[in-house]
Amino acid sequence: MKRIAILGSTGSVGTQTLDVIAHDRERYSVEALTAGHNIELLLKQIEQFQPKLVSVHTKEHAEEIKLRTNNNIQVFWGAQGLLAAATDTDADLVVTAVMGSVGLDSTLAAIEAGKHIGLANKETLVSGGHLVTDAAAKYGVRLLPIDSEHSAVFQCLNGEEAKAVKTIILTASGGSFRDKTRDQLKGVTVEQALQHPNWSMGAKITVDSATMANKGLEVIEARWLFGADYDHIRVLLHPESVIHSMVEFIDNSVIAQLGNPDMRIPIQYALTFPGRHITPTAPLDLAKIGNLSFREMDLTRYPCLAMAYESGRLGGTAPTVFNAANETAVSRFLRGEISFLGIEEVIAETLEQQVVVPVRALPDIREADRWARLVASSVQPLSS
Amino acid sequence: MKRIAILGSTGSVGTQTLDVIAHDRERYSVEALTAGHNIELLLKQIEQFQPKLVSVHTKEHAEEIKLRTNNNIQVFWGAQGLLAAATDTDADLVVTAVMGSVGLDSTLAAIEAGKHIGLANKETLVSGGHLVTDAAAKYGVRLLPIDSEHSAVFQCLNGEEAKAVKTIILTASGGSFRDKTRDQLKGVTVEQALQHPNWSMGAKITVDSATMANKGLEVIEARWLFGADYDHIRVLLHPESVIHSMVEFIDNSVIAQLGNPDMRIPIQYALTFPGRHITPTAPLDLAKIGNLSFREMDLTRYPCLAMAYESGRLGGTAPTVFNAANETAVSRFLRGEISFLGIEEVIAETLEQQVVVPVRALPDIREADRWARLVASSVQPLSS
């Protein structure tokens, strides 16, 4: 039996993790769940999965949970509650599916508590790449990627020697605007940006797919997860999103992982690694899909991806600044403050103004993040 | 340094094996080479690779080799010479690239001498599947597949547990007549049959690609190599031959191996397994290829494949009879004696007449093979 804690159990990855667990109930015990404000869903999850510990965003939520559950369950709240869920249980594996920078703190804490990590929080490796990978090595814990691309690479690397890897090839659908020229991007609306062709995801990540900022963050994550340098991480346009990513080896053999666009496959793999188990997902039907297509990635078409590579290569606080500037810019776009092309301008201007410093500890990241959000909030893009 | 013996060094796989070795000369020593009648090429190979032992088809050839080489080399001939090359050297790995049923005898002998096998001879597993896999288990040697499909599956299985495998998916280009209906196959010529769209191969195997008999033999080989039952080995039409084969796991994750149609990749993998090394081959350029397509395999369109599955399921001598009937029928087609569609008729009629017996030892296989060739030589197909 595997003992699991899920940080962010009411979000997309959290609920799908519980769906995987529900389909093979005897294999898992749920040690801890945490949520933000979605108390009703959390209460249902508590009833179904009987965690020993839960944590929520506020004291009020915590009191409500206490009132509506039995006394066997420990209820915490806030940042300390999240850390308790990450560290103070018998969990073997902590799924870190919270959004934003709190994910980094709680992932680091879980690693230091000797927990293997099912990693679904982007900031963790983008901002804290070397802190987190150093800690994972020091405490002997596994970082098991929970997203389709990195799980694909992780699966392709199964049984292979690190020195045999030539190139990590991340596939990208191209997002909702993949068939538009840069000129055609000028007038696009928020509504158009939210139509992702293959995956149903949140607004932020759907916009990030359209700008390719999302793929840029994945490139930075891949650098840390797989110890590859940026010259050996490529992005290939693959509109159908059936090949989730690939590894090219030094003998020019390429191993790819394929599947339906169903997050439960990478989630389950992180839970069952190094084994595999039967799944509630549908099998892939390549004959029905018929065609897979591939195009070279054009970095001038997708400047956010180019800026992500540049930030990754700069290192230090640069990826944190890139990520924070992007988040701020996307929020402003979603609020109608700036245009779609304004997103990349805001990021570019913020990167332009930054002073990159090394990341020695979490405060360096927090300061860079705070600074970048401030700058990105005030930049007035020309194209808005 | 890996010590290699190559049975059949002047054939297609043999010469490409030596090409791989030539590109990384310090990594390998060539212990033995064998050839049939291509003495001139063998003499060049002897000069370049300095084997300690060679064997050729006839005593006359052996005497010529002795005259034209120095005295440090042992020269043998005939069936006994082939067995000496398979067993009487310090080779760690014997590449069995001889054609036909002599491949089975020499592979078994090499296994019993404790040599790992780089397996490029089809008859070995088609006819001797359980003899060979039992011997490999008993003597603790690896069967390393040397062809693109089985090497692909072997690579996809790297690091995975056997119980996690759901389906082995062999891809098939569809051969030279893949876009013709069965009706359109009636008038096709030998010349048309020899135009394979992706791979440049010998006449026999090119015809086998067009009839799908080749894929049928691969299905039977896969059954033995990977211990899968026939219900869990599928064939998928994939005209571009870029995905060389795939494995679907029980979690519905699919791992595929991709590459250019260059036999040196699977050959080198067998030589370097479990590692990988830099290769003389060209990298795969998916963006340049652009599209990969897939279609369901239609067994009524390709009755030779259906008969191969049926023979595999029957077991015993049935796969030997299928293989021998096919070889005989293809020879007759290439000589102009029967039509293209006559091939499947000859096989069907031979299978119809067979009495399947269990394979306890090599003589059972030899007898079935002899009988099938005799019958298949005399069947008069209606369509010729």
Tens of pLDDT along A56-66?
Answer: 999 999 999 99
Chain B touched by A350 (CB under 8 Å): no
Rounded to an integer, what distance in angstroms lies between the CA atom of residue A302 and that of residue B76? Answer: 65
- Give just the sign of the alpha carbon dihedral B96, B101, B106, B108: positive
pLDDT of residue A200: 63
- pLDDT value at position B100? 79
Split at pLDDT 50, 70, 90, the class of A122 is confident
Q: Is the pLDDT of residue A176 over 90?
A: no
Residue of A nearest to B297 (CA): A287
A-chain residue closest to B254, CA distance: A258
pLDDT at res. B205 = 85
CB-hemisphere CA count at 13 Å for A281? 28
Q: Which of residues 169-228 of A touch B (CB under 8 A)?
A: none
Q: CA B63, CA B328: separation in Å to the nearest integer?
A: 33
Q: What is the band of A106 on the pLDDT scale with cuts at 50, 70, 90?
A: very high
Mean pLDDT in consecutive groups of 10 residues from the start of chain B, 384 residues: 97 96 96 97 97 97 95 94 98 94 92 98 92 98 97 97 97 91 90 77 86 97 97 97 98 98 96 94 97 96 97 98 97 96 97 97 96 97 77
Q: A289 in contact with B at a CB cutoff of 8 Å?
A: yes
pLDDT in the model for residue B382: 87
All residues at 6 or more sequence positions from A172 whose CB lies less than 8 Å from its CB, including other chains: A209, A212, A215, A235, A236, A237, A238, A297
Contact between B324 and B100 (Cβ < 8 Å): no
The residue among B167, B276, B291 with the most chain A CBs within 10 A of its CB, best to mutate, is B276
Task: Decide if B121 contacts B128 (C-beta within 8 A).
Answer: no
Q: Pick from A97, A90, A80, A133: which is nearest to A113 by CA?
A: A90
Residue B320 Cα to chain centre, angstroms = 14
> In this structure, are residues B30 and B297 in contact, taking their beta carbons and an 8 Å threshold?
no
Q: Do B279 and A161 touch (CB under 8 A)?
A: no
CA-nearest residue to B266 within chain A is: A253
Kindly report the backbone phi and psi dihedral angles of residue B180, in degrees, each rounded to the nearest multiple of 5, phi listed first.
-100, 145
Query: Other CB atoms closer than 10 Å to residue B93's CB: what's the count?
Result: 22
Residue B238: closest CA among chain A residues belongs to which residue?
Answer: A287
**Alpha carbon of B273: minimum distance to chain A alpha carbons (Å):** 10
Spatial neighbors of A94 by CB under 8 A, at least 6 apart, are A4, A5, A6, A7, A86, A106, A107, A110, A115, A116, A117, A118
Q: Name which of A38, B59, A127, A44 is nearest A30 in CA terms.
A: A44
- Locus of tokens 């191209």: A174
Residue A199 has pLDDT above 70, yes or no: no
Residue A193 has pLDDT above 60, yes or no: yes
Which of A151, A163, A252 should be substituted to probe chain B, the one whose Cβ sees the most B Cβ atoms within 10 Å? A252
Q: Which residue does chain B place closest to A274, by CA atoms?
A: B160
Please give the Cα distance from B194 to B173 (Å, whole number): 14
What is residue A88's predicted lDDT score, i.e. its pLDDT? 97
Q: Does A273 touch chain B (CB under 8 A)?
A: no
What ipTM describes this predicted complex? Answer: 0.96
Q: How far B76 CA sits from the closest chain A CA (Å)?
A: 35
Q: Of B132, B128, B190, B182, give the one whose Cα is nearest residue B304.
A: B182
**Cβ distance of B257 and A253 shorter than 8 Å:** yes
Give the closest residue to A227 by CA, choosing from A125, A139, A111, A314: A125
Distance from CA of B295 to the nearest CA of A (A): 4
Residue B181 to chain A, least CA–CA distance (Å): 19
Residue A311 confidence (pLDDT):
98
Calculate how close chain B gets to A181, using CA atoms only, in Å: 19
Residue of A272, A276, A279 to mutate for B, most B C-beta atoms under 10 A: A276
pLDDT score at B384: 55
Give the DSSP H/E element, type plus range, for residue B166: strand B165-172
Least CB-CB distance to B294: which of A253, A262, A286? A286
Give the residue from chain A lying closest to B148, CA to CA: A253
Task: Look at A256 and B252 and tell me if their CB atoms are within 8 Å.
Answer: no
- Cβ-Cβ contacts under 8 Å between A and B: the total is 149
Q: How far is A294 from chain B (nearest CA, A)?
A: 5
pLDDT at B197 (0 to 100): 66
Contact, B224 vs B137, CB < 8 A? no
**Does any CB of chain B come closer than 8 Å to the CB of residue A284?**
yes
From chain B, pick out residues whose CB is under 8 angstroms from the CB of A249: 276
**A245-281 per-position pLDDT tens digit:** 999 999 999 999 999 999 999 999 999 999 999 988 9
Residue in B with minimal Cα distance to A20: B251
Measured over the CA atoms of residue A96, residue A97, residue A98 and residue A101, the dihedral's sign is: positive
Pick A287's closest partner by Cβ from B159, B279, B294: B294
Contact A283 B246 (CB under 8 A): no
Q: Which of B158, B277, B294 sits opposite A250 (nearest CB)?
A: B277
The residue among B117, B129, B93 whose CA lies nearest residue B21 is B93
Average pLDDT, chain A: 95
Report CB contact under 8 Å: B274, A250. Answer: no
| B160 interfaces chain A, CB cutoff of 8 Å | yes
User: A169 vs A131, A231, A349, CA distance in Å?
Assistant: 25, 11, 29
The H or E element spanning position A258 is strand A254-258
Asked if B13 and B33 count as a contact pair (C-beta separation under 8 A), the reply is: no
Spatial separation of the C-alpha atoms in residues A85 and A279, rounded to whole Å: 27
- The 8-class DSSP code of residue A186 comes to T
d(CA A372, CA A356): 11
What share of chain A in percent tops pLDDT 90?
90
* Closest Cβ opposite residue A159 in set B159, B249, B286: B159
Residue of B nearest to A295 (CA): B287
Q: What are the CA-CA distances from residue A11 to residues A14, A34, A179, A194, A227 (Å)? A: 5, 10, 30, 18, 29
How many Cβ atoms are within 10 Å of B1's Cβ, its own excluded? 8
Taking the alpha carbons of A20, A22, A25, A30 in that order, is the dihedral positive or negative?
Answer: positive
With contacts defined as CB-CB under 8 Å, which chain A residues touch B154? none
For B303, the token pair is 């009755």
Give A 68-127 residues with CB within 8 A of chain B: none
How many alpha carbons fall within 13 Å on the CB side of residue B66? Answer: 11
- Is pLDDT above 60 for A44? yes
Angstroms from A36 CA to nearest CA on chain B? 31
